[in-house]
Structure formats: structure tokens, C-alpha cells
Structure 1
Amino acid sequence: MNRTLLVLAVLASPAAATAATWQPSAELGIVNTTGNSETTSINGRFGLKAEEDLWSHDYHLAALRSESDDELTANRYELGAKSDRKLTERSYLGAAARYENDDFSSYDYQATLALNYGGWLLREEGHSFKIEGGPGIRRARLAGTGEVETGALLRGFADYQHQVTDSTRFFNTTLVEATSDNTFAQNDIGIAVSINKTLALKAAFQARHNTDVPVGTERTDTLTSVNIVWTPAAN
């Protein structure tokens, strides 16, 4: 974990030294039921983005925690950092780091670092689609045995955004991290509807899949969420 946090700090340090204008965002969703059963679920995300003439940066912290009848049923957090240098109007080169800790996954943690070459297949007002990919490294620890896996990684990422109306945005993102030990894939699809200049309501469905898991462990986890999203009003 310490190595991964160091990687995130190294990626962040050049960005923090620039005069870029940072755009924060935060979202939160809470579900609480009482009666015959008591269930509490909280998921949240905090992000920071910035874009300059040559560089763009995207950092985030996401967390999920759920309890049912005083028993913990989900506990996960993720740190991510990504920085890209523009090569042309439609292409870029950069690096991405991700650290995930999940108490209910087949892995105690998964940490990845990859180089990226990417570009926009579609980039116009209110409509964009970009893909990126590149080699990297992965380090993970199996929850059942404590065995640590380290190996080469091939990372792929796709991001589709469509501003359907002035107040409604559709999105779909896909992340794939493939190694000889395991392939992790995550897809997020949903819609965000603006309430006012700073608040939006977001409904999303997330599917996460690991190809190599111990016997008795599900390969796929899903999360359906409805969150309130805050972003500061543009100046």
C-alpha cells in the first residue's frame, strides 16, 4: 500500500505545482431501512480534475460501506490518479495509478500502475468518446492465502459521454486491467440530471468482475446507486 500511495504522490506532485484551475466534485448516496431488517448503505466519491494547455489531471477517492442487521456486508475504498500530456488535439500520452482495498473481495488489495496512449474517436460539443491503453505493473494480495501476485499488466480504458439535453448527461466508462494471474474489468453506466447550477441527481449501475477467484467466491459484483452530486458553479 505504501508503494502505491507513493506512486499517487509522485503523479500528483507535478500537477500541484502548476497554475491549473482545479475542479472538485463530490457525491454521496445513503440507503437506510428499519423494521423487520435494518440495513445501512453508504457510497461516496470525491474527485479533482484540472486541464491546462498541455496537461490534464484526474484524481479520485471512492468508498462503499454497507451493514445489514449490524453485520458488515461491504467495505471498499479506492484511490486513483491519472495525468496526461496532450500530443495533438485528439491524442495524449500519460500514466494512471489505482489502489483498491476490499474486505469482501477475493483480493485484499489490488494496486496498478500503467502508461497510457489515448485519443478521442469523437470530440464535439456535448458528445465525446475516447479510448486509451498501455502496459504497466500490478501487485495484489489474495484474501484467502495471503499470497502476493506481481506481474506485467495491460490496461485499457474507454469513456463515452453524451449531453442529451442541457440538464441531462449519459455516461458509460469501461476499465480493463489484464494480467496472467487475473483480469479485472469494471463498467459504469448511468445518467445524471442537473437540479441547479451546483447539484445533480445521478443514477448508475456498476459491474466489477475478476476472472480468477477462490472457490465459493463470486466473480462479479454489482452496485446500483442513486447519488447527489455536487460541483461548484463555473465562474
Structure 2
Amino acid sequence: MIRLLTALPLLAASAVASAQWQPSAELGIVATSGNSDTTSVNGRFGLTGEDADWTHDYHLAALRTESNDDLTANRYEIGARSARKLGERSYLGAAARYENDDFAAYDYQGTFALNYGTWLLRDEHRSLQLEGGPGVRLARGSETGEDETSALLRGFGEYKHQLTDSTRFFNTLLVEAADDNTFAQNDIGIAVSINKSLALKAAYQVRHNTEVPVGTERTDTLTSVNIVWSPKAE
């Protein structure tokens, strides 16, 4: 699966050099001491690129939490998307995602899907993007230790709204539906610019698996306040 992630840029190798690339990085740290000692760190690095014919979106995200010297959360995720534009509003592409989670129903989940997508809205202040298509899911159950392979349908939607010059609202939904499990993740939040390169982002994330072992919660949530670095393109 990781090979698929690294191979996606090769699907658009002729366009990568000409794309205008935009990096971003964010970090949030929460530490408490006293009756309980808790440290939580979450971070994300993203890289997007676009030219006249292609769009690219890659990211790496991680979460780690310790409470009273016990590890209570440890997760990382790698994702990649590349698409060939069919016009101003539609495109064809591929997406891959791999996650490793020490405290989830699955030791790892990896997906690869082909997508048809469209921008229902795309202007200076708002954008609404929808995409979907068939794919394959690879996973290993944390309880059984067995590898699973299944077909899936992937759906993705993202809405962004530049409310003011300094304030942006966003909502992103990902659904990966397979026979043995349906994974869904929704991220909603707001980002407020501090200066040209830094912003403060508050977000609420919900992750849900329909099939989990006994004693494991189906839904995980994460509330975060992060500092985001993203240099403005010239």
C-alpha cells in the first residue's frame, strides 16, 4: 500500500515539474500536570500542487498521547491524491491512504481507489468538491491478526468558505465503504490568519468504523487547536 502512495505522483510525472506547489505544516501540543500528567501531540504536513492539467494533494498526519506514562493514542496516516482535469469543473484521478493505529479495531488500513470528481463551486471565496469511485481495501484486524482484502466504494467531499480576509471555514468528509467495514471521517473547523504565513486552526474530527471487536469503541473524536504554517504563493 505504501508503494501505491509513492507511485501516485508517477501517474502525473510529466506534470509534476510544472505544477505550482504549496506546502503546509501544523502542530498542536497539550500538556497537563498535577493530579494527572498528560501530553498530547498532533501534527500534519501537506503538499498540494496544481497546473493547467493536473492537481495533486499529499499529506502525512500523526497523533500521540501519553497519560501518566501510559501511551493512550498512537496513530499516523499517509495520503495521496492525483487527478487529471477534464475541464474547468471535472477530473479523473486516483487516491491512496494508509493508516497505522495502535489503539483501533485495525492495526492498519490501506485503500486505493479510482475517482471521478467535480467542483460544484469554485470561486475566490468558496469551493465545493465531490468525488467518488471504486477501489480496494487492505486491513489487518487487531484482534484476529488476519489480513483482509475487499472491494470498496470511496466518497470524498470538501467545502471551504473564506468568510473574511483572515477567516476560513472548512468541512471535509471521507467515506470508504467495504463489505467488512465502513470507515468514515469528518473534519470541521475554522482557521484564522495571524500573519501572511501563520494561522490558528480549531478543528473537530470524528472517525467511525462500523465493524469493531467487542470492547472497542466504534467512534473516536479529536478536538484540536493548532498553529498552521503555510507560505503564501507569490
Q: Same fold (TM over 0.5)?
A: yes
Inter-partner Cα distance in structure 2 for 1:130 and 1:5: 26
Number of the residue aligned with 2:6: 9
- The answer to whether the 8 Å contact 2:40/2:64 transfers is yes
Q: How does 1:139-158 map to 2 (within 5 A)?
A: 139-158=138-157
Deviation per residue, 1:168-190 (Å, 9 max, x gap): 00000000000000000000000
Match of 2:220 in 1: 221
Distance 2:233 2:173 in 1: 28
Please give the residue correspondences for 1:69-218 in structure 2 after superposition, counting only pairs within 5 Å. Answer: 69-218=68-217
Cα shift at 1:203: 0.1
For the Cα contact (< 8 Å) 2:80–2:95, is it kept in 1?
yes
For residue 233 of structure 1, report the CA deviation from its aligned partner: 2.8
Give the Å deviation of 1:50. 0.3
Aligned-partner SS, 2:10: helix
Gaps of 5+ in 2: none
Superposed displacement of residue 140, structure 1: 0.3
Q: What is the aligned-residue identity percentage?
A: 73
Tell me the CA shift for residue 21 of structure 1. 2.2
1:154-175 deviation per Cα after TM superposition (whole angstroms, max 9, x unaligned): 0000000000000000000000
In structure 2, what is the Cα distance between the partners aligned to 1:102 and 1:27?
A: 20
The alpha carbon displacement at 1:14 in A equals 4.5
AA of the residue aligned to 2:166: S
**1:29-62: CA deviation from partner (whole Å, max 9, x where unpaired):** 0000111110000000001100010000000000
The 2-side partners of 1:49 and 1:55 are apart by 11
Structure 1: runs of 5+ lacking an equivalent: none
**CA distance in structure 2 between the partners assigned to 1:21 and 1:129 by the alignment:** 21
Distance 2:107 2:175 in 1: 19
Contact 2:22 2:233 in 1 (8 A): no
Aligned residue in 2 for 1:234 = 233
Query: Relative to 1, partners in 2 of residues 1:186 and 1:7: Cα closer, same or farther, differing over 3 Å?
Result: same
Counterpart code for 1:10: A
Give 1:95 shift.
0.2
Task: Return the TM-score normalized by structure 1.
Answer: 0.97
Q: Deviations over 1:102-143 (max 9, x none)?
A: 000000000000000010111221111111000000000000
SS in structure 2 at match of 1:8: helix
2:130–2:157 Cα contact (<8 Å) kept:
yes
Q: Tell me how far 1:147 sits from its aligned partner.
A: 1.5
8 Å CA contact 2:47–2:58 kept in 1: the answer is: yes
State the shift of 1:234 in Å. 2.4
In 2, Cα distance between equivalents of 1:153 and 1:14: 21
The one-letter code sitting in structure 2 at the alignment partner of 1:8 is L
Query: C-alpha distance in 2, partners of 1:13/1:118?
Result: 20
Q: How far apart are the structure 2 equivalents of 1:15 and 1:22?
A: 14
Q: Distance in 2 between matches of 1:46 and 1:14?
A: 22
CA contact (8 A) 2:49 2:56 kept: yes
3-state DSSP of counterpart to 2:211:
coil
2:202 and 2:10 mapped to 1: Cα distance? 33
